[in-house]
């Protein structure tokens, strides 16, 4: 077996015996760039900031509730915004569904969704929270938490219960700042 290896080495040496290095000015240089590091801690910090930005224990200072219908208009905005939102004058550009999520998952999902919509210039969104028929005591837990979360987000101008065809009392239509 070593004879075979020696033959290969001899053949190679014979094949390259007349080879000469290229002059310095005629060499190609291939610079390998290191990939940028992934800021894992920054990503974790941003996710934690999103989670921390919404509290389950926030008590809204200004919210209108007419029976079971949820309505909210941030102070300083014209009332006709809320009227138009309730009547479906704004086109829903994106939506999420919170069915099957526990409170902590839903809070992060909502915060991330609103942040992504803001970055993409999306103004009108629908959030389906469900009617609570599958929860303990058949109460809409996420519905009540969601309204507090939305009020805490500066990006939210107003929200109103969705029209029946958009989810009715199981969803809200949210208007975000431009």
Whether the Cβ atoms of residue 136 and residue 89 lie closer than 8 Å to each other: no
Whether the Cβ atoms of residue 104 and residue 43 lie closer than 8 Å to each other: no
Tokens (6 digits) for 111: 């915060």
* Tens place of pLDDT per residue across the chain (178 aa): 567 888 888 998 888 888 887 777 776 766 767 777 777 777 777 776 666 665 555 545 444 444 556 788 998 888 888 888 888 888 999 999 999 888 889 999 999 999 999 999 999 999 999 887 766 676 778 888 898 899 888 999 999 999 989 888 899 999 999 8
Q: What is the pLDDT of residue 148?
A: 87
- Give the strand pairing for 124-128 and 94-97: parallel
Q: What is the pLDDT of residue 134?
A: 66
Task: Please tell me whether the overall predicted TM-score, pTM, comes out greater than 0.85 for this model.
Answer: no
Q: What is the pLDDT of residue 141?
A: 82
Q: What is the pLDDT of residue 127?
A: 95
171-176 sheet: strands from edge to edge: 64-66, 69-73, 156-161, 171-176, 124-128, 94-97
CATH topology (fold) of 66-176: Ribosomal Protein S8; Chain: A, domain 1 (3.30.1370)
Q: What is the pLDDT of residue 62?
A: 47
Tokens (6 digits) for 130: 């469900």
Q: What is the pLDDT of residue 143?
A: 86
Q: What is the pLDDT of residue 51?
A: 64
Tokens (6 digits) for 164: 């029946």
DSSP labels, 93-106:
-EEEE-TT--HHHH
Instruction: Map out the domains of the chain as residue ranges.
Output: 66-176
Q: Return the residue matching tokens 């004058």.
A: 89
Burial of 13 per CB tally in 10 Å (0-12, 13-18, 19+): exposed
């Amino acid at each position: 077996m070593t004879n075979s290896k020696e033959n290969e080495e001899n053949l190679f040496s014979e094949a390259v015996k007349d080879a000469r290095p290229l002059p310095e000015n005629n060499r190609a240089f291939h610079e390998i760039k290191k990939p940028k590091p992934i800021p894992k801690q920054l990503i974790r910090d941003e996710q934690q900031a999103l989670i921390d930005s919404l509290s389950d224990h926030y008590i809204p200072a200004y919210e209108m509730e007419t029976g079971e219908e949820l309505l909210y208009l941030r102070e300083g905005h014209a009332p006709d915004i809320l009227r138009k939102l309730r009547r479906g004058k704004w086109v829903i550009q994106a939506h999420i569904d919170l069915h099957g999520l526990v409170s902590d998952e839903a809070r992060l999902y909502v915060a991330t969704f609103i942040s992504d919509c803001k970055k993409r210039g999306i103004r009108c969104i629908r959030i389906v929270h469900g009617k609570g028929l599958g929860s303990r005591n058949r109460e809409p837990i996420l519905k009540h938490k969601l309204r507090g979360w939305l009020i805490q987000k500066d990006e939210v101008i107003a929200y109103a219960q969705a029209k029946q065809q958009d989810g009715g009392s199981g969803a809200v239509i949210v208007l975000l700042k431009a």
